[in-house]
Amino acid sequence: MKKTVVILGHPSNDSFCAYLSEKYCEGAKTSGNEIQKINLGELDFAPFLENGYSKEQTIEPDIKKAQEKIKWCDHLVFVYPTWWATPPALLKAFIERTLLPGFAFKYKKSKHIVAWDKFLNNKSARIISTMDTPPLFYKWIIGDPGYKMMKDILNFCGIKPVAKTYFGSVKMSSEAARQKWIDKCYDIGQSD
């Protein structure tokens, strides 16, 4: 049994991504996994670090709750649309405000190299992303920048492996194609 946190990175709870996240949760529950959810569109937090990392910023209650869920879980699932080749700004803001020094990592003093402790070891992740670009074009021509960004951030904190599943082109898809993606999300939830 896995403890899984599903993070909806789309700002709307009435989106195709929200529906995919629900189907993932349904599948995961049939395998006996414990699920907690974080819907970023419902959280109340400042969307940026006011002083970068030079000064500590007040951590809002919603961010503290999210950090508790992240500590609790074995597996993180991020469900979001790819917009402008990367995750939405809301998800990036959440990452910057949640995966903070002292919570997700801590730099070590070193004269010659950059070194750090990773505090989120023994966790895995999956990215489920919708896009209007065909996924093969996104991966091979554009270079998969959203996945590279997410994988690098998560690995930096100790979270690995990071699997990915893409669905697209959503704009050009038929109802039958979308139903296949919904069924696949359910299946991934069962097997993750």
Cα three-residue angle 5-83-51, rounded to 5 degrees? 70
DSSP string, 65-81: HHHHHHHH-SEEEEEEE
Look at residue 78 in the predicted model and tell me its pLDDT: 98
What is the Cα–Cα distance from 45 to 84, expressed in whole angstroms? 23
Tens digits of pLDDT across the chain (192 residues): 899 999 999 999 999 999 999 999 999 999 999 999 999 999 999 999 898 888 889 999 999 999 999 999 999 999 999 999 999 999 999 999 999 999 999 998 877 888 999 999 999 999 999 999 999 999 999 999 999 999 999 999 999 999 999 999 999 999 999 999 999 999 999 999
Look at residue 114 in the predicted model and tell me its pLDDT: 86
Q: Which CATH superfamily is domain 3-191 in?
A: Flavodoxin domain (3.40.50.360)
Q: What is the dihedral of CA 109, 110, 113, 119, to 10 degrees?
A: -30
pTM: 0.96
